[in-house]
Amino acid sequence: MEQKIKKFTPLGGKHCITNALKQVFSYYGYPMTEEMIFGIASGLAFTYINLAYSPMISGRTKPFDFEEKLAERLNIKIKCKKPKSYSIAFSQTKKMIDEAKPVLVYTDMPFLKYLGLDENSHFGGHAVVLFGYDEERQIFYVSDRDNCNYPIRTPRGDIAEDYHIVSYDEMLLARNSHFRPFPANNKYLEFDFTGFTSIVTDVITSAINETCESMLNPPANLLGLNGIMKFSKEIVKWSKYDNQKLKVAGITNYFQISKDGGTGGGIFRKMYGQFLIEANTILVNKGLGEIGSQYISLAEEWDLLADSMWILGETGDKNLLKSMSQQIIVLYKKEKSLLEQLQSSIK
């Protein structure tokens, strides 16, 4: 028996969670751009993470913190459900689809075969939307961020499907994964839009203030601007890695920066710039549009670093590390200046 939500429209996008949220919001009649979702959730961040298989940087806030902040600012309810077992999650998913409710779930990326990732590249915060199933074929219908008019790059080449067909067994592995970082642990979201409030100046101001404060005055050396400076120092130490680990570090961080990894470009800086330009129509006479344009330019410089990461991933050339460290210091200085301008503009 096949069950699909007829009025659900799969959409492509820039980043997994913002695209998944965009699809759910649109389905329930509350259309919003990914950039606005990202900005009002204070999504922009920086973290340097030292994992065993490879160091990894991140340019956005933690999964689940992001969704909670979004709900708070829009006055809606987004509940992150954590079933004790996959069998409970599986039953609840089918029930929701039967009730014509798309299900936003978290998955561990290497278990989704269509992404073609290395089996050790675990990330359990990857959001997709389940909008149908077929009991006879034992499959789910899955909307990821690729679409027929929105190709995304994977290690095995581009994919551009309106939706993916994923077996029950494959989805079990992806959703039930306990691997770090951000274990999927069968999590999914439930939405209640009853109290939805439109985006007003106070919401924009609060969101921007929080981003500026967390980046300029982070609580740890791994975070915010401190984290970017640490990155510039740590990358030189990568010269101690063997060739294989160095290549893994290169390709891992290429995808953490590049739009190919779902950042929208420039480790989310392009999305944030576009948010500021859009916010400029709500919070007028604050110069957000100009700062937004400068953030987009900064994103392009981050993408140049991503290009170097790709070469590092292909060659393992340790001679690249010193110049990359210098690139990062320049990025640090430019972002610090932009954040200070931004914080001053909304006072």
pLDDT tens digits, residue range 109-143?
999 999 998 887 888 989 999 999 999 999 999 99
Residue partners of 333: CB distance under 8 A and separation at least 6: none
Q: How far is CA 114 from the centre of its chain?
A: 18
Residue 53: what pLDDT?
81
pLDDT in tens, 288-316: 999 999 999 999 999 999 999 999 999 99
> What is the secondary structure of 34-88 as a DSSP string?
HHHHHHHTT-EEEEEEE-SS-EEEEEEPPTTHHHHHHHHHHT-EEEEE--SSHHH
Residue range 2-31+77-192 forms a domain whose CATH class is alpha beta
pLDDT-wise least confident of 50-59, 164-173, 190-199, 241-250: 50-59
Q: Does position 155 have pLDDT exceeding 80, yes or no?
A: no
Q: Does position 181 have pLDDT exceeding 80, yes or no?
A: no
Which one of 1.20.1250, 3.30.450, 1.20.120, 1.10.1760 gives the CATH number of domain 201-345? 1.20.120
**How do the domains of the chain map onto residue ranges?**
2-31+77-192, 201-345
Q: Among the residues of the chain, which ranges form H helices?
A: 16-27, 34-40, 65-74, 86-98, 168-175, 201-216, 224-237, 243-257, 269-279, 288-315, 320-345
Cα distances (Å, whole numbers) of residue 15 to 22, 101, 125, 275, 325 = 10, 22, 12, 14, 27
How many angstroms separate the most distant Cα atoms in the chain?
A: 59
Burial level of 172, CB count in 10 A (0-12/13-18/19+)?
middle
